[in-house]
Amino acid sequence: SDVGWEALNTLKELGHCTLSFKGLDTVERPGIIELVGEPIKAEQLLVGGTIEIE
């Protein structure tokens, strides 16, 4: 897992980020947060839902 140099700034300033579940050791682009685990499926996303990252 890794956090791109621009990801936290984008999250703070614009309120969004890109999560990637490719399992890479380094991010492909500066605005990405690279995670390890199963990808989130569209049917799991609900309005008002919560995504927890541990």
The reported pTM is 0.68
Q: Which position has the token pair 């995670």?
A: 35
> Which one is predicted more confidently, 2 or 38?
2
- Distance, CA of 14 to CA of 54 (rounded, Å): 22
Position 45 pLDDT exceeds 80 = yes
Position 54 pLDDT exceeds 90 = no
Q: What is the pLDDT of residue 12?
A: 93
- Distance, CA of 1 to CA of 6 (rounded, Å): 15
Position 7 pLDDT exceeds 90 = yes
Position 21 pLDDT exceeds 80 = yes
